[in-house]
Structure 1
Amino acid sequence: MLDLTYIILFISTALAFLLLCLMNRALGLAVLCALLPTYLLRLTVPLPGTAGFVLPTTLLEVLFLELFVFWFFTRRRSRLEKRLLGPWIYPATLLLVGATIGTLMAPDILPAAGLYRAYFVEPFLFFLVFTDIVRGRSERRLVLGALGATVAVIGVTAIFQKLTGFGIPNPLWQAEETRRVTGFFGFPNALGLFSAPVTVLMVGWSVALIRSESLLQRTLSLLPALAAALGILAILFAVSEGAAVGLAAGLALLGLLMRPTRLLTALLLIAASATIIFHQPTQDYVSLMFSLRDESGGVRRIVWDESVDMLADRPIFGAGMSAYRSTLPPYHEARHIEIFMYPHNFGLNFWSETGLIGLLGFIWLAILFLLTNSRIRSSFPDEWLPTALIAAMIAILVHGIVDVPYLKNDLAFQFWILLGLTESMRRQFLVLQEEDGD
């Protein structure tokens, strides 16, 4: 009965989303952005005409495919849009080529193909849909509101788990004295990986609305501020040090780059530095964490050393998609440490999964993202979103030094959403510049 109920709810949600897309494409896309964590809802679909072969899928994938098919048959095309997609297509192609080679090289091609589809092909196709539908400020606000709503729900769930321990899967994390919330994710760091960049965006949005001359806009600033506060609490209750450091780096950069918060941020950074210098317990903790001499840092240093040894024997193509665990054992000497799915460093992660080609593509995309937003920020200094996007990407990259950004269904889509917001602004402001030139 439970399985049947689950399937009915799964199908009902998919049908409701399809109806929403038929009514309003932009709203459908925003709802999809809000439902990124629905990759956790999985279903296996038996394929007719095969000997019991099933296709695993997720609710997120089904919703995306509905949006993509609807968009494909209703899209608007122009020569201008083809030309404007240019800057992203080259690094994206490198990333996809690296991922394709990694999949073809994988010792077990079926799970590799599943990750290839979910982490690379579908998010890139979503980027194409996104940049066609999200054309102006109103659509961007819809997307930002959707992301903020998701983080707010995560934050409320985290508070509930902090108070009760309910729904935390690991007994150690559930115990009150060592409690780490997970939200509706399976582990604490997944919560931090998703929440940190969105929290940075919400802080930037709130500051921008507070500066508005409109009383309504200033009042509405409470909504992203609330989402940001809930995101911060979720990360703190998850005790995700990587997410906390990434969030702090993103917020510090955001505060320094946004004129209204520059002085306050500088004073807070001075106070934090003074605390670290003159308060010995804080100094010891920060030194231990940043030198990776604590337990978690020690594990990561061992994992990185073993991963580098493995990659030294296959430097061009890496281990292959979803092949890190099966490739590492000959290099794994620290038997007291489990073999993780990935090396827990964004450079080593991409090198192992997609080879140097994919790693170069990812780095190129990140640099292009930062440069593009910097140019928009310079040309349109009153626009807050480029600054917030830069800070959000910094939060991802800083956290990614010790974790696994991107290589998860929701995080891959989130990454391309950030790129899509950037491309949406770039197109809009390029048109404005051309009109001014005329």
Structure 2
Amino acid sequence: MSSPIEPIAYAAVLVHVLSTPRRVFAVLAGLAVAGVVVGLPNLVVVLEGLRAHSYDVTQTPPVVIYMTANAVALFLGPLIAIAASLVLHVQDRTVRLVSAAFLLVAGPAMLLTFSRGGFLAMAAVAVGLALSHRRRLWLLAGTAAVAAVLVLIPPIYTRVSVEFQNVGGTTLFGRAGRLALWSATLQMLSRFPVFGAGLSGFADRIGPYWNADHPERFIDPHNIVLNFWVETGVLGVIAMAWLLFIGFRWSWHGWRAGQDLWRAISLGALLALVAVVVHGLVDVPYFKNDLSLEFWIVIAMIECARRWGYKRTA
């Protein structure tokens, strides 16, 4: 688990530095490089596994840098949201080309994580992007068509269909699945409702409430609300809810009333938060070094757009 201080301190520095879109793009370029470094090796190893028939898509995909494929999806999701917004709404050719090049790597890499939470987050982002454009009906139809085609690809279809089977693995409905995990977490929280289990305390506290017959053991409840409740107590849940509310509100206003490039930055930040929240319904999108840093960079972008990006009226 990451320290809660460093990402916040970094964001505090950024809000005093990112006074122009160009500076924001410089930070985003660094994140894009990180995304390529994380995503490309995974893309290659999964493709090789599929080619050699050494990877069963009903199982967790192989990884290179991260410990799980879901971690790759959690990191790439917000970056894909921002890059797609820049491609769709920025006129600067260089920014669009760099963003498109990133998407050519990050998009397939996200797809081959076979992360159901990642797929759900990307669907929400795609709908948001379509609604942001004046040709929204055509884009919504295109999004639905692409989604239908992707789901029909055999490995993806198999991976998604497993989610709705009552199997012994960690699917939504399995006996060690998300619903069972959330139920056990709520039972545990009924004993520690105010302060939760404390930082990194979930694995120890959940024992008496978890399925003792199943070997799977979790270190977190795989849900953004339950995770903050467990780790930081009720006050942490309230603080995160307030931060997300402010983030959505300001980024929406930046998209509606911002100037030029700041509008696309605000929309990208808004959709990045959408990706965090939607994927966070079934996973943990914050309590890791990379994810917390990425989250606070997005918050810093929103604040910078609020400070310097709104249209001023005389």
Structure 1-normalised TM-score? 0.63
Name the structure 1 match of 2:36: 152
Conserved in 1, the CA contact under 8 Å of 2:114 and 2:159?
no
Distance 2:55 2:211 in 1: 34
Equivalent residue in structure 1 for 2:113, among 238, 253, 257? 238
Letter in 1 for 2:236: G
Distance 1:274 1:247 in 2: 14
Residues 69-94 of structure 1, C-alpha deviations (whole Å, 9 max, x = no match): xxxxxxxxxxxxxxxxxxxxxxxxxx
Name the structure 2 match of 1:326: 204
Name the structure 1 match of 2:126: 251
Distance 2:165 2:193 in 1: 26
Equivalent residue in structure 1 for 2:227, among 346, 349, 360? 349
Residues 309-329 of structure 1, C-alpha deviations (whole Å, 9 max, x = no match): 000111111011111111111
Equivalent residue in structure 1 for 2:73, among 180, 185, 192? 192
Distance 2:270 2:165 in 1: 26
Conserved in 1, the CA contact under 8 Å of 2:39 and 2:72?
no
Name the structure 1 match of 2:190: 312
Q: SS in structure 1 opposite 2:4?
A: helix
- Sort the Cα spacing of 1:175 and 1:306 in 2 relative to 1 into closer, same or farther, 3 A: same
Per-residue deviation at 1:288? 6.9
Q: SS in structure 2 opposite 1:221?
A: helix
Residues 297-340 of structure 1, C-alpha deviations (whole Å, 9 max, x = no match): 12111111110000011111101111111111121234314221
Conserved in 2, the CA contact under 8 Å of 1:344 and 1:401?
yes
Letter in 2 for 1:188: A
- Sort the Cα spacing of 1:292 and 1:228 in 2 relative to 1 into closer, same or farther, 3 A: farther
Conserved in 2, the CA contact under 8 Å of 1:325 and 1:341?
yes
Per-residue deviation at 1:149? 2.0
Q: SS in structure 1 opposite 2:112?
A: helix
Per-residue deviation at 1:287? 7.9
Letter in 1 for 2:140: A
Distance 1:191 1:275 in 2: 23
Name the structure 1 match of 2:139: 265
Q: SS in structure 2 opposite 1:321?
A: coil
- Sort the Cα spacing of 1:372 and 1:220 in 2 relative to 1 into closer, same or farther, 3 A: closer
Report 1:138-149 matches (<5 A). 138-149=22-33
Report 1:10-409 matches (<5 A). 115=1, 118-164=2-48, 175-178=54-57, 180-209=61-90, 212=91, 217-218=92-93, 220-259=95-134, 262-271=136-145, 289=163, 295=169, 296-297=171-172, 298=174, 299-380=177-258, 382=260, 383-409=263-289
The unaligned stretches of length 5 or more in structure 2 are 151-155
Distance 1:275 1:156 in 2: 23
Residues 319-370 of structure 1, C-alpha deviations (whole Å, 9 max, x = no match): 1111111111121234314221100011111100000100110111111100
Conserved in 1, the CA contact under 8 Å of 2:259 and 2:309?
no
Residues 182-232 of structure 1, C-alpha deviations (whole Å, 9 max, x = no match): 2411111110000011011111112234xx2xxxx3365222112112112
Name the structure 1 match of 2:153: none
Letter in 2 for 1:378: R
Distance 1:317 1:354 in 2: 6
Distance 1:181 1:155 in 2: 12
Per-residue deviation at 1:284? 11
Conserved in 2, the CA contact under 8 Å of 1:200 and 1:228?
no
Conserved in 2, the CA contact under 8 Å of 1:182 and 1:190?
no
Distance 1:358 1:235 in 2: 30
The unaligned stretches of length 5 or more in structure 1 are 1-114, 166-173, 277-281
The Cα RMSD (Å) is 3.0
Runs of 4+ in 1 over 6 A off after TM superposition: 272-276, 282-288
Letter in 2 for 1:250: V
Per-residue deviation at 1:396? 1.1
- Sort the Cα spacing of 1:270 and 1:224 in 2 relative to 1 into closer, same or farther, 3 A: closer
- Sort the Cα spacing of 1:387 and 1:293 in 2 relative to 1 into closer, same or farther, 3 A: farther
Name the structure 2 match of 1:91: none
Letter in 1 for 2:223: N
- Relative contact order, CA 8 A, sep 6+: which one is greater? 2
Name the structure 2 match of 1:56: none
Letter in 1 for 2:36: A
Conserved in 2, the CA contact under 8 Å of 1:302 and 1:334?
no
Distance 1:220 1:129 in 2: 24
Per-residue deviation at 1:164? 4.0
